[in-house]
């Protein structure tokens, strides 16, 4: 069982470059989430999706865009990367809104120079 | 926004010791999650609870709604328990409203 898979695991970007992080889940979960984890801070929600074709803003959405064209995939895009977006990004999914356990990916470490 | 405080921030113990990690929050909640982040970075959900106590193997999670406090206990600790343990609380049942603590780094020495 793959669970939640994130690609890529590591990426280095220059300021102004764009990239997309892919999250794929094989558990038929409706809800998917993108978080960022920074030193000394708790996980913060960037965007989330309540089902195929839907997206919503979380706590720190600025500078990011997302899409959920297929139920199993949730993409996080950075159109013009900034050093402040250097972070570890986690994707998670849950069966429904709650209270259901979250299933996390392994994380993607992004460095913006 | 709910404030979540975890204590201690760091904990080092000998193998076999009984471990307690605490989580306090400021506003009444509907659900509390305990997560484990491995040294390699991956995050695993351990427990989700809204009242009482849950047990899984050597791990026990308790919550006191009135005192706005939860504890995660590990019995007979083992070096493989070394990880960061994260508490997250939700004002409603929606996972999109979770507030995460900064974690407790646990190191178990053989």
pLDDT at residue number B75? 97
pLDDT of residue A97 exceeding 70, the answer is: no
Contact present, B78 and B18 (Cβ < 8 Å): no
pLDDT higher than 70, residue A99: no
Closest residue of chain B to A47, computed from CA coordinates? B96
Q: Roughly how many angstroms between the first and final C-alpha of chain B, as a whole number? A: 40
**What rounded mean pLDDT belongs to chain A?**
94
Residue B77 has pLDDT above 90, yes or no: yes
CA angle A82, A88, A94 (to 5 degrees): 120
Query: Taking residues A77-86, what's their average pLDDT?
Result: 96
Confidence of residue B93 (pLDDT cuts 50, 70, 90): low
* Beta pairing, strands B104-109 & B10-14: parallel
DSSP assigned state of A28: -
User: B interface mutation test: which of A33, A54, A99 has the most B CBs within 10 A?
Assistant: A99
Residue A37: the pLDDT is 96
Q: Which of B70, B72, B34, B32 is nearest to B49 (CA)?
A: B32
For position B90, what pLDDT does the model report? 85
- The answer for B 36-95 residues in CB contact with A (under 8 A) is 40-45, 48, 50, 86, 88, 90, 92-95
Strands (E), chain B: 4-7, 10-14, 19-25, 31-37, 43-49, 52-56, 59-64, 69-74, 83-90, 98-100, 104-109
Two structure tokens written together for A96: 């429904």
R_g over Cα of chain A: 13
B6 touches chain A (CB under 8 A): no
Alpha-carbon distance B29 to nearest alpha carbon in chain A (angstroms): 12
**Cα-to-chain-centroid distance, residue A18:** 15
User: What distance in Å separates the CA atoms of residue A52 and residue A68, rounded to the nearest whole number?
Assistant: 6
Confidence at residue B44, expressed as pLDDT on a 0 to 100 scale: 94
* Interatomic CA distance for residues B7 and B87, integer angstroms: 10
Q: Please write the tens of the pLDDT for every residue from A11-41.
A: 999 999 999 999 999 999 999 999 999 998 9
Question: Which residues, including other chains, have CB under 8 Å from residue A10's CB and lie 6 or more apart?
Answer: A108, A109, A110
pLDDT of residue B40: 80
pLDDT of amino acid A92: 95
User: What is the pLDDT, as a whole number, of residue A39?
Assistant: 92
Whether B18 and chain A come into contact, CB under 8 Å, resolves to no
- Mean pLDDT in residue range A83-105: 89
Tokens of B3: 């404030």
């Amino acid at each position: 069982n793959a669970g939640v898979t994130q690609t890529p695991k590591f990426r280095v970007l220059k300021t102004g470059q764009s990239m997309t992080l892919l999250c794929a889940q094989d558990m038929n979960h409706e809800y998917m989430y993108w978080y960022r984890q920074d030193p000394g801070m708790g996980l913060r929600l960037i965007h989330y999706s309540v089902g195929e074709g839907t997206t919503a803003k979380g706590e720190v959405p600025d500078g990011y865009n997302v899409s959920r064209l297929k139920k199993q995939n949730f993409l996080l895009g950075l159109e013009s990367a900034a050093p402040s977006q250097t972070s570890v990004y986690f994707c998670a999914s849950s069966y429904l809104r709650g209270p259901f356990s979250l299933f996390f990916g392994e994380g993607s470490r992004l460095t913006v120079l | 926004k709910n404030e979540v405080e975890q204590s201690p921030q760091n904990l080092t113990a000998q193998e076999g010791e009984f471990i307690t990690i605490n989580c306090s929050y400021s506003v009444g909640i509907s659900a509390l999650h305990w997560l484990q982040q491995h040294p390699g970075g991956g995050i695993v959900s351990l427990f989700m609870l809204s009242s009482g106590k849950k047990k899984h193997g050597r791990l026990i999670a308790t919550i006191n709604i009135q005192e706005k406090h939860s504890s995660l206990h590990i019995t007979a600790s083992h070096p493989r328990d070394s990880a960061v343990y994260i508490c997250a609380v939700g004002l409603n049942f929606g996972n999109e409203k979770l507030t995460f603590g900064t974690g407790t780094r646990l190191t178990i020495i053989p």
